[in-house]
């Protein structure tokens, strides 16, 4: 079945969101300084601590989101409280650097996860199922690249394929046991995989906030870019999932790849 004009436009917009420049480019546009070099110069100990903070933040945010998501009410990611929390958490990160990361990152990650759930709900997802909750968590693995990635491992559908088995196992445990300790190994395996990718933009954010004279105001601005980036990833991701439910995964993947090639050629 061919896509309707409305759905074709929705898919094209999703491709635009998911294939846009990465977070480093977006942050550079805001602060006027390239940050790739700063990321490469981070000491090994700092990189390790960022990785640990990332894994911890993902698990914490998942536990909070699972226990508080209410399908009868809507969480509005653009409301005043969301903006205040985002600005404050970014200001803390910009003012205090690495020591504040363990506090700031779980806060901003939880805000983003709740925002992703709202986006998912808008695309027809049942946010009280383990599968949808983990699809929200999956967003943190999108739109970033690791040094070990090659052409076959990058890209939206490649990332989903790499996480598919871990998501399936974690969803099964969560559906049967929630986030109990008995089900933790399956969830931890998934979070480890996602954290390996999410730690890349977290390192980029930290490197930008560590630039001398950035301070609290710059940290707040960087955090807004950070959160908007992943909201875009969520919009693209859950648009694709909605279209897959309607047209089938093969049809949508083929059309996505065609549109992605056209987009690259038009640059």
Q: What is the DSSP letter of 183?
A: G
Write down the pTM of the prediction: 0.86
User: Closest Cα to residue 241, out of 103, 109, 99, 136?
Assistant: 136
| Contact between residue 106 and residue 63 where contact means Cβ atoms under 8 Å apart | no
Q: How many CB atoms lie within 10 A of CB 30?
A: 13
Quick one: pLDDT band at residue 4, thresholds 50, 70, 90?
very high
pLDDT 10s digits, 6-40: 999 999 999 999 988 788 888 888 777 777 767 87
DSSP state of 139: G
Distances (CA, A) of 174 to 2, 65, 183, 258, 264: 36, 13, 7, 36, 39
Tokens 């205040």 — which residue?
Answer: 84
30 closest CA partner among 85, 99, 94, 104: 94
pLDDT at 209: 76
Question: Which candidate, 157, 140, 149, places its Cα nearest to that of 198?
Answer: 140
Q: Residue 82: is its pLDDT beyond 70?
A: no
How far is residue 79's CA from residue 217's CA, in Å, rounded to a whole number?
20
pLDDT at 163: 95
d(CA 236, CA 15): 7
What is the structure's pLDDT at 147?
Answer: 47
When pLDDT is cut at 50, 70 and 90, the band that residue 79 belongs to is very low
Instruction: State pLDDT tens for residues 113-162.
Output: 888 888 898 899 998 888 999 999 999 999 765 544 444 445 899 999 99
- Residue that wins the pLDDT comparison between 9 and 110: 9
The C-alpha atoms of residue 256 and residue 267 are separated, in whole angstroms, by 17
Is a pLDDT exceeding 90 seen at residue 191? yes
- Check pLDDT > 90 for residue 97: no
**More confident call, 151 vs 169:** 169
Other C-beta atoms lying within 10 Å of the C-beta of residue 131: 15
Q: Which residue has the higher pLDDT, 208 or 166?
A: 166
Tokens of 230: 């992943």
Rounded Cα gap, residues 8 and 247, in angstroms: 11
For residue 192, with 0-12 CB atoms within 10 Å meaning exposed, 13-18 middle and 19 or more buried, which class applies? middle
* Structure confidence by residue, pLDDT tens digits, 44-73: 888 888 888 899 999 888 888 767 665 554
**What pLDDT is recorded for position 235?**
93
Question: What is the C-alpha separation between 267 and 263, in angstroms, rounded?
Answer: 7
Q: How far apart are CA 218 and CA 195, in angstroms?
A: 25
pLDDT digits (tens, 9 = 90+) for 208-250: 777 766 665 667 778 788 888 898 999 999 999 999 999 999 9
């Amino acid at each position: 079945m061919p896509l309707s004009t409305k759905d074709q436009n929705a898919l094209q917009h999703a491709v635009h969101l998911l294939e846009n420049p990465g977070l480093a480019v977006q942050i550079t546009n805001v602060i006027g300084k390239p940050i790739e070099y700063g990321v490469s110069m981070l000491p090994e100990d700092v990189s390790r601590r960022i990785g640990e903070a990332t894994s911890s933040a993902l698990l914490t945010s998942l536990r909070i989101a699972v226990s508080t998501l209410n399908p009868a009410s809507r969480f509005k990611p653009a409301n005043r409280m969301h903006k205040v929390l985002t600005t404050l958490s970014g200001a803390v990160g910009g003012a205090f650097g690495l020591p504040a990361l363990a506090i700031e990152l779980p806060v901003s990650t939880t805000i983003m996860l709740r925002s992703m759930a709202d986006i998912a709900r808008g695309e027809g997802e049942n946010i009280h199922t383990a599968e949808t909750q983990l699809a929200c968590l999956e967003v943190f693995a999108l739109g970033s690249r690791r040094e070990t990635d090659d052409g076959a491992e990058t890209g939206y559908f490649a990332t989903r394929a790499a996480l598919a088995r871990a998501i399936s196992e974690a969803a099964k445990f969560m559906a049967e046991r929630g986030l109990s300790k008995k089900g933790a190994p399956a969830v931890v395996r998934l979070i480890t995989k996602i954290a390996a990718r999410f730690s890349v933009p977290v390192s980029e954010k930290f490197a930008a906030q560590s630039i001398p004279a950035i301070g609290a105001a710059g940290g707040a601005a960087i955090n807004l870019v950070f959160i908007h980036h992943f909201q875009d990833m969520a919009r693209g991701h859950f648009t694709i999932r909605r279209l897959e439910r309607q047209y089938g995964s093969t049809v949508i993947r083929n059309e996505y790849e065609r549109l992605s090639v056209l987009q690259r050629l038009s640059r």
